[in-house]
Amino acid sequence: MPASEETGSGPVVHDHRRIDPVTGQVRGKHAASKPAGTRGAGRPGRGNPGPDAGSGSGPAEDQPEDKHEERDAAEAAQQTEESPEEAPEMVTGQVIKDGKQAAGVEAQLAERTADLQRLQAEYANYRKRVDRDRAAVRDQAAAATLTGLLPVLDAIDQAREHGELSGGFKSVADSLQAALGRLGLVAYGEKGDPFDPKIHEALMHSYSSDVTEDTCVEILQSGYKVGDRILRPARVAVAEPATGPDGSSNEPERPASEEGN
């Protein structure tokens, strides 16, 4: 809105409107102006002569007018900066730009997070596979070593059966068997165990009325295993029931020639 000031010669009008009322054009940053004929009008006070002081000009007259123009220019610049016509457009453009940048950052973050999760899963699977392979290699090496010591254990068992295991040799044998037991070696095979072809090897076969199923009636050589892995099956003599569930004989008929003999 135009503003006026009282001076010695009359009111001075300052036009701060941003739109020129005559041409309809947008004024520039320093377009604030005053109507013609008002410039150079003196003001009383501070060395300025009044309206009756003559028409002479000098430093005393120009200095207050220059300060007025500087103030008008500053006010026009402030109004231009705070103009409500450009602010919405500028704010809207900034919001759109910031929204696009935020969407791009979120997309990159999601992509990097997925890559990190995939890498972490691959590394976890790799560690499991390496641990599994390492354990398999260790078990295989231990099994190969223990298998090589089985003949020594067979010799110790035979010496024990014949009463030859005594003195210092007995102490050494007991220490060796204890050390192998700590490595997971287990001996199995007892007289009377049900025959299992998965863990037993039948070296002898017979029929007996004292058993109701295939039974290990004699252990010829002990079996050894580590965990669920069989290093050597137990070698046994197996007895089969002499009669079946219906009372019929399971023994095969002998030829007539063999019965005469």
Residue 100: per-residue pLDDT: 77
Are 231 and 150 in contact, with CB atoms under 8 Å apart? yes
Q: Scan for tokens 């409500």, then name that residue.
A: 84
- 106 with 63, same domain? no
Do β-strands 223-226 and 11-14 pair in parallel, antiparallel, or remain unpaired?
unpaired
Q: Are residues 73 and 112 in the same domain?
A: no
**Average pLDDT for 103-117:** 89
What is the count of structural domains for the chain? Answer: 4
For the chain, the residue count is 261
The boundaries of the domain holding residue 91 are 84-140
The answer to whether position 258 is within a domain reads no
- Output DSSP code: residue 194: B
Q: Determine the straight-line distance between the first and last CA of the chain, rounded to whole angstroms.
A: 145
Residue 231 falls inside a structural domain: yes
Residue range 70-84, pLDDT digits in tens: 676 667 666 555 554
Q: Residue 223: pLDDT band by 50, 70, 90 thresholds?
A: very high
| pTM given for the model | 0.49
Which one has a higher pLDDT value, 121 or 46? 121
Which tokens is 163 given?
């009463």
Residues 24 and 61 in one domain: yes
CA angle (24 as vertex; 19, 25 as ends), nearest 5: 70
Same domain, 196 and 240: yes
Those residues whose C-beta lies under 8 Å from the C-beta of residue 233, and which sit 6 or more positions away, are 199, 200, 201, 223
The answer to whether residue 260 is domain-embedded is no
- Residue 66, exposed/middle/buried by CB under 10 A (0-12, 13-18, 19+)? exposed
| Same domain assignment for residues 201 and 249 | yes
Q: Is residue 32 part of a domain?
A: yes
Q: Which two tokens mark 211?
A: 């058993």
**In the predicted model, what is the mean pLDDT of residues 35-64?**
44
